[in-house]
Amino acid sequence: MHGSLFSLLVVGCCCCGVVIASTSPNLLGAIVGGTSLRSERFASRLSVYTSPLCLTPSYSSLFPLSPPLPLSFPPQREYSVTQKYTVNGAEVQAGIYRSETFNQSGQAVYGGPNDPRMGDTADLGCPGWFGHIELSRPVYHLGFIDEVKKALGCVCYSCGKLKNLLTKPDGQPDHEMNEIMGIKSRKKRLNRMHSYLTPKKICQHCQSSQPKYYRKDLHIEIEFPVDMEMAGPDRKQFFPASEAITVFSRMSDEDVRYLGLDPVYSRPEWLVVSVLPVPPLHVRPSIFAGGSQSHDDLTHQLVNVIKANLSLKDASDKGESR
């Protein structure tokens, strides 16, 4: 049980499980510490901070057993990592966008992974606050990539509608589609819809040919049919998460519901990560030993993510290909 809770927490976000692949002895200590103050504070944080910054829906919102609760947001703070902020006359942008943790005088850098706007670990009354990294390119979420592939197989690549109508072109009702619409379990409906619609090669709305999708490791590949225009020289090519967002964003709310998803809480494009939550400093405290300070493993991973993100942004600004 601890293992599953731990693996959920180390990925960085208590509501979505965004992957920051790392293990954290500090965090594990906080979880298995029983009734320690740190554990209680951590538990309260888990229940309170389903951050609005997290743009990926949870499994419970994907396939809710009961009607979901209305959206709620924590009260506004005087300043936040989600907003621009002015420090000593210098403007600090929203979000985490610098890889430096401390400056030469030992102070935490604004915009870095230890940004003071995320809270003060020395203040026992401070619960800690999530930050965020705006990714230069969206990425597939490990926990939802199979759902994304299933949904892509059901939706027309060209017009963004479900490939089949409830009635056939000859005017007769499509009994299988009508039966699928009657399935109350959203998860089962998505699976049935995927089994029925993915093999369809033509969209009934716009009559365009449909590509095939394959999952390969942590990304998705697309294979275009021979009569379809394509971007690159190969019929089978990498399908970027940004293009999945483009396809899903054409979907109507009604089709999203038919697919078994909820247009208010979990539109399919939200299954792709474009903003990465940064856990508060309290989740990844630094260790002081022998007069030196050592960062938590999660902080090291965040620094790697920020560096990679900056490199990608730089390459993309210079016009390098995807």
In 88-192, DSSP assigns E strands to 90-92, 131-140
Q: Give the separation between CA 81 and CA 84, rounded to whole angstroms.
A: 7
Q: Which stretch binds Zn ion (CB under 5 A): 159-167, 184-192, 274-282, 298-306?
A: 159-167
Q: Give the separation between CA 165 and CA 154, rounded to whole angstroms.
A: 12
Those residues whose C-beta lies under 8 Å from the C-beta of residue 132, and which sit 6 or more positions away, are: 53, 81, 82, 95, 96, 275, 276, 277, 278
In the chain, DSSP assigns E strands to 85-87, 90-92, 131-140, 212-216, 219-223, 236-239, 272-278, 287-289, 292-294
| Nearest approach, Cβ of residue 213 and Zn ion (Å) | 16
Q: Binder to Zn ion among 41, 205, 219, 250 (CB under 5 A)?
A: 205
Q: Which stretch binds Zn ion (CB under 5 A): 8-16, 51-59, 102-110, 198-206?
A: 198-206
Q: Which is nearer to Zn ion, 205 or 212 (CB)?
A: 205
Q: Give the separation between CA 264 and CA 274, rounded to whole angstroms.
A: 18
> Does 203 sit near Zn ion (CB under 5 A)?
yes
> Does 202 sit near Zn ion (CB under 5 A)?
no
Binding to Zn ion in span 10-49, by CB under 5 A = none
Q: Which is nearer to Zn ion, 129 or 157 (CB)?
A: 157
Q: Which stretch binds Zn ion (CB under 5 A): 43-51, 153-161, 184-192, 308-316?
A: 153-161
Q: Which is nearer to Zn ion, 8 or 165 (CB)?
A: 165
> Does 200 sit near Zn ion (CB under 5 A)?
no
Q: Which stretch binds Zn ion (CB under 5 A): 157-165, 191-199, 281-289, 300-308?
A: 157-165
Question: In the block, which residue shows the tokens 């619609």?
Answer: 197
Q: Which is nearer to Zn ion, 144 or 157 (CB)?
A: 157
Extract the tokens encoding 316. 């993309």
How many residues make contact with Zn ion (CB under 5 A)?
A: 6
Q: Which is nearer to Zn ion, 159 or 228 (CB)?
A: 159
Q: Binder to Zn ion among 155, 156, 162, 193 (CB under 5 A)?
A: 156
| Nearest approach, Cβ of residue 34 and Zn ion (Å) | 56
Q: How many residues does the chain have?
A: 322
> Does 212 sit near Zn ion (CB under 5 A)?
no
Q: Which stretch binds Zn ion (CB under 5 A): 88-96, 129-137, 148-156, 179-187?
A: 148-156
Binding to Zn ion in span 64-103, by CB under 5 A = none
> Does 159 sit near Zn ion (CB under 5 A)?
yes
Quick one: DSSP state of residue 282? G
Q: Give the separation between CA 95 and CA 82, rounded to whole angstroms.
A: 6
- CA 40, 61, 46: angle at the middle one, nearest 5? 10
Q: What is the 3-state secondary structure (H, E, C) of 50-85?
A: CCCCCCCCCHHHHCCCCCCCCCCCCCCCCCCCCCCE
Q: Residue 262 is which amino acid?
A: D
Q: Which is nearer to Zn ion, 96 or 156 (CB)?
A: 156
Class of residue 173 by CB neighbours under 10 A (exposed 0-12, middle 13-18, buried 19+): exposed
| Nearest approach, Cβ of residue 222 and Zn ion (Å) | 16
| Nearest approach, Cβ of residue 174 and Zn ion (Å) | 16
CB 162 within 8 A of CB 259: yes
| Contact residues: Zn ion, CB under 5 A | 156, 158-159, 203, 205-206
